Structure 1
Amino acid sequence: MQEFHFSDLKITPEHFRRKALYWAEKFAQVAHFNGNEIPYLYDGFENLLAVSDVKTVAFSGKKVFEQLTEISASEKFLCGLFSYDLKNKIETLESHHEDFIGFPDAHFFEPEILLTFSEKTVSISTQKVECETILQQILTTEIPEIQPQQINWQSRTSEAKYLENVCHIQNHILEGDVYELNYTIEFFAENATVFPLALFEALNQKSPTPFAGFFKLNHSVLMCASPERFLKKEDRNLISQPIKGTIKRGKNDQEDAQLKNQLLNDEKERAENLMIVDLVRNDLSRSAETGSVKVEELFGIYGFQQVFQMISTITAQARPEENLATILQHTFPMGSMTGAPKISAMQLIEQYEDHRRGLYSGTIGYVKPNGDFDFNVVIRSLQYNAETKYLSYKVGSAITIDSVPEKEYQECLLKAKAIMEVLPHPTLP
């Protein structure tokens, strides 16, 4: 590893990071994690850029957790993802809708080159060429000027169908099948020619979040502006921070304060949040020392550029024998994106949603050589298949017995606001 000071390079940290991203684009596998220096309990993502051209095999089939156990013990730095459909390897579940993006259920790679950014320096670790050579390649990379694209978006679920399905889901709640269900919809564009890195930059600028990320695996690309952490492990400390509860930002400080207070005291949003907190406590307890599961913060209100979110923080001490594979089997997928009880919710999700979630409501993150890891929740994200030119984004909300279907649909549009502003949507407000 070699460290370079931005002052010596006569370049700003942000300009260097942008050059590094466009330099990285030529690699088959790219993972960029960005916490955007946003203050957050237990911090956000570290600012990292990892690349590799080494072909790796996606984890699949019944051996996926055996493979995960092996990489947990590998003492290597690894970047990876888990798609929502990994649920089918954990529980007796199925996914029937067509996959248009192509991310595997699980995938990890060891970087050939890893850049670690701080406020004043960048550190380069490499197995491939000299650090100075990589540095010069980055410094001489040109950042292209790309104009925003006009996209012909389509909605896979009409508003009328959405409202009808919410009513059906509420009937399931009345019958006791579930207490809460996260119902999502997809907007998509076919034959879309876009520039993924430019889109990620625009999205991250419009909506900076503590768990932003760009993940490229051959033709499949994720551009993520997630505010939510799925799971972090520091030594034996496990941290989960589910989001349930959303309200728009105000036009000024006074309106902000009013809306923030409104969210904090909204009984429906608090009930949604509490249900998922209980679910996460139960999930973590399966990997935790007895009595170690704690709710460190309940109903915390966090402000982001587009919205306020209600976020709770649950921690636990993992038992010594637990590793990434076993912890994942106990906690995935995250309850904030399913509902409760989790298995019943996932069965109804497959019944009422008309799209395959894929990497949406899955996770991207990294595993350190000592076994520590950090993974987000893939929401507020664009996905793109550069080969088929299929572009997609998905949004959803938690449906409870108190939900007003029309308001839930408007919440979906609010959550998509940043993406709609980055890629104009001619058929939606």
Structure 2
Amino acid sequence: MRVERLPDLGDAPGVLKAVADAAARRGLPPPAALIGDWFGARAVIAPSVAVEPVSATEVFDVPPGCDEAIGGGWFGYLSYPDGTGKIPMAAGGWSDCVLRQDAAGRWWYESLSETTLPDWLADLKPTAPAPYAIEWHAPDRDSHRAGVLSCLDAISAGEVYQACVCTRFTGRISGAPVDFFVDAVQRTAPARAAYVAGSWGAVASLSPELFVSRRGERVISSPIKGTLPLDHSPAELASSVKDVAENIMIVDLVRNDLSRVATTGSVRVPELLAVKPAPGVWHLVSTVTAQVPTETSMAAVLEATFPPASVTGTPKLRARELLTEWEPYDRGIYCGTVGLASPLAGTELNVAIRTVEFDADGAAVLGVGGGITADSDPDREWEECLHKAAPTVGLALSREQSPASGRYPQ
């Protein structure tokens, strides 16, 4: 293992863009990146990684470490399992080295194979994103409303207690997905942003939500359920009967999922119903912890917990079955997961919400949705979808305000 202190490189999104440009000039595979709050760091960037289609059990199959250093590992994603998307169901790639920006803002080069910093990474300077544009097309409001009403009927009939009914924006990018990602992260600073790309396309995740953190025997999940625009008082969200009920039901589901692989009696809820800001909205966030034996494979953990509880419903299996009937399109990477499995630092995966899927031809898809409970109002649920999507599709920006832009018809 090699750890080398680097000069101050600047902001992580700008460094990612500089690395991406340097890799492209040399004909190397693109970088992968985690930016926000990952492994106790501000950013983890794999300078060049060949992210190729793999099986669902391969993508994060690394024993759980618990070191502060990261060094490298498997970067990749796993799509929502009920249906198909335009990109592979799962893709991943191994990197022997990373650039890491620690919590204090210092940059480090880390290498599992003890190689020195590649010459082509010398003299990196933060780079602004190149111009790009995405002309977004709004979702079908009628089909979303029909899905919400069907969900309310299923709740009344006792088939489910709640479910996450989703819709999607579609568009096409003119420019490079990495420029969209760099620009969006700079504008919105999401907590669990992640980027991976390959010949198949790219995944640009602007997620605020932690699906699983696994370090040694300790596993943490922080489900988000409950949303209110940032211009409202956070106390309004904390006192919302609907949002509180939504969150507590999902916490119970996460507890149940983790208990399938956890040491008996180890599942705990150290944080319940905390109100936290995310791009454009307030969220209710809870935290569930458990002890899982280190010999339990990551594939077994995912089999017990995936797809994430917060994007399915309760009971989980029946909610998933019904969602395939209520949603006219497959989710693809949306509601799946993106992250890194490091043999030193462990595994951290986000919930792939606020996530744009780009195929090889530049077609873009942004899924968005919300939890439906017995007292949900279809019009308010639609408004919640728009509030969640607004920071990503760039409703507040004009082309004159930014070299990059995203917009959709009203």
TM-score for the superposition, normalised by structure 2: 0.86
Encode CA deviations 1:244-272: one digit per residue, 9 max, x unaligned.
0111112xxxxx6xx10000010000000
Match of 1:224 among 199, 205, 216: 205
What code does the residue aligned with 2:376 have? Answer: S
Number of residue pairs matched?
Answer: 390
Match of 2:369 among 396, 405, 413: 396
1:144-223 matched pairs, under 5 angstroms? 146-149=130-133, 151-155=134-138, 157-190=139-172, 192-223=173-204
Q: Distance in 2 between matches of 1:327 and 1:193?
A: 39
1:69–1:323 Cα contact (<8 Å) kept:
no
1:6–1:13 Cα contact (<8 Å) kept:
no
Q: Which residue of 1 aligns with 2:74?
A: 78
Could you tell me which runs of 5 or more consecutive residues in structure 1 were left unpaired when the two chains were aligned: 38-42, 86-93, 251-255
What code does the residue aligned with 1:81 have? Answer: Y
Q: Distance in 2 between matches of 1:54 and 1:69?
A: 15
Classify 1:13/1:320 alpha carbon distance in 2 versus 1 (closer, same or farther; 3 Å): closer
Encode CA deviations 1:39-76: one digit per residue, 9 max, x unaligned.
xxxx76651111445575511xxxx53x4696448997
Identify the range of structure 1 (302-311 vs 17-26) with the bigger mean alpha-carbon deviation.
17-26
Q: Which residue of 2 aligns with 1:40?
A: none
Identify the range of structure 1 (300-309 vs 19-28) with the bigger mean alpha-carbon deviation.
19-28
The DSSP-based 3-state class of the residue aligned with 2:46 is strand
Q: Distance in 2 between matches of 1:45 and 1:130?
A: 21
The DSSP-based 3-state class of the residue aligned with 1:35 is strand
The DSSP-based 3-state class of the residue aligned with 2:335 is coil
2:210–2:223 Cα contact (<8 Å) kept:
yes
2:228–2:281 Cα contact (<8 Å) kept:
yes
Q: Which residue of 1 aligns with 2:108?
A: 122
Classify 1:193/1:402 alpha carbon distance in 2 versus 1 (closer, same or farther; 3 Å): same
Q: Distance in 2 between matches of 1:214 and 1:69?
A: 16
Answering whether residue 92 of structure 2 is matched by residue 108 of structure 1, we say yes
Q: Distance in 2 between matches of 1:134 and 1:44?
A: 27
Q: Which residue of 2 aligns with 1:135?
A: 121
Q: Which residue of 2 aligns with 1:28?
A: 29
Q: Distance in 1 between matches of 2:235 and 2:195?
A: 33
Q: Which residue of 1 aligns with 2:402?
A: none
The DSSP-based 3-state class of the residue aligned with 2:361 is coil
Q: Distance in 1 between matches of 2:170 and 2:127?
A: 28
Per-residue deviation, 1:284: 0.6
Classify 1:19/1:275 alpha carbon distance in 2 versus 1 (closer, same or farther; 3 Å): same
TM-score for the superposition, normalised by structure 1: 0.83
Q: Distance in 1 between matches of 2:379 and 2:60?
A: 45
1:2–1:131 Cα contact (<8 Å) kept:
no
Classify 1:84/1:44 alpha carbon distance in 2 versus 1 (closer, same or farther; 3 Å): farther
The DSSP-based 3-state class of the residue aligned with 1:392 is strand
Per-residue deviation, 1:401: 1.2
Identify the range of structure 1 (160-169 vs 180-189) with the bigger mean alpha-carbon deviation.
160-169
Q: Distance in 1 between matches of 2:186 and 2:243?
A: 28
Per-residue deviation, 1:357: 1.0
Per-residue deviation, 1:333: 0.5
Q: Which residue of 2 aligns with 1:278?
A: 252
- Give the number of the structure whose residues are more often helix, by fraction: 1
1:45–1:374 Cα contact (<8 Å) kept:
no
The DSSP-based 3-state class of the residue aligned with 1:154 is coil
What code does the residue aligned with 1:79 have? Answer: F
Per-residue deviation, 1:215: 1.1
What code does the residue aligned with 1:225 have? Answer: L
The DSSP-based 3-state class of the residue aligned with 1:172 is helix
1:180–1:340 Cα contact (<8 Å) kept:
yes
Per-residue deviation, 1:228: 0.1
2:167–2:327 Cα contact (<8 Å) kept:
yes
What code does the residue aligned with 1:154 have? Answer: H
Per-residue deviation, 1:130: 4.6
Match of 2:388 among 415, 419, 427: 415
RMSD: 2.8
1:24–1:30 Cα contact (<8 Å) kept:
yes
1:2-401 matched pairs, under 5 angstroms? 2-7=3-8, 11-14=9-12, 15-24=14-23, 27-28=28-29, 30-35=31-36, 47-52=43-48, 56=52, 58-59=54-55, 64-65=56-57, 67=58, 71-72=62-63, 77-85=73-81, 95=83, 99-100=85-86, 102=87, 104-118=88-102, 119-125=105-111, 130-136=116-122, 139=124, 143=127, 146-149=130-133, 151-155=134-138, 157-190=139-172, 192-250=173-231, 259-370=233-344, 372-385=346-359, 387-401=360-374
